[in-house]
Amino acid sequence: MEIGSEYWKCEEKLNSNNTKFWDFGKDNKFTLSGRTSIYYVLENIIRENKIKKAYLPSYSCDSMAQPFLDLGIEVVYYDVYYNKGLKYNINFDEDIDIFLAMNYFGYSSTNMDIYIKKFKEKGKIIIEDITHSILSSKIYSEFSDYLVGSLRKWFPIASRRNCSKYEF
């Protein structure tokens, strides 16, 4: 099977009775895409918070930043690079309101929890993209405020082609 929304026929089945797989808390919503999930979460956040700036990983697709930009939130990026393992160059003094955290394809040694916890202690809102860790033994950080992910990156999921930008 190939990651990234292109699939060959696969006879394997997902065990949907696996309660650990679906255990993302009590308030869940399935949306069209990861981008739509981010937009939905941001709308929820800005109802009660004044948000000016968000800190996103440099190694992410443009569509992840688009919901922030569409809602008038400035985006600054922290550097993500590979040097004998995945590394982050994160400035904890960056004047931000939201920290978007993301683990990457099995690089569990990066321990994003350290960064999430530090920003949480500083009173920042944490959105964690769990797309790449959704099938891992440790799916998300307990310090995150919101979890978003794209199941379409892992499973063939039927959807309409000509839908609006953000469809819930």
> Which residue ranges make up each domain of the chain?
34-153
Helix then strand count (H, E) for the chain reads 3, 6
Summary mean pLDDT of the chain: 78
The per-residue pLDDT for 20 is: 54
- What are the backbone dihedrals phi and psi of residue 77, each rounded to the nearest 5 degrees, phi first? -115, 140
Query: Could you tell me which residue, 149 or 52, shows the higher pLDDT?
Result: 52
Query: Which 3 state secondary structure label does DSSP give 86?
Result: strand
Topology at the third CATH level for domain 34-153: Aspartate Aminotransferase; domain 2 (3.40.640)
Q: Per-residue confidence at 6, pLDDT binned at 50, 70, 90?
A: very low
Instruction: Give ∠ CA 101-16-142 in degrees, rounded to 5.
Output: 30
Question: Looking at residue 41, what is its pLDDT?
Answer: 92
The stretch 117-132 carries a mean pLDDT of 92
Strand order in the sheet with 98-102: 86-89, 74-82, 53-57, 98-102, 125-129, 146-148
Q: Which residues contact 85 (CB under 8 A, 6 or more apart)?
A: 107, 109, 110
Q: What's the pTM?
A: 0.77
Residue 158 pLDDT exceeds 60? yes
pLDDT over 70 (residue 50): yes
* Cα atoms found within 13 Å of the Cα of residue 50, Cβ hemisphere only: 0
Measured in whole angstroms, the distance separating CA 47 from the mean position of its chain's CA atoms is 20
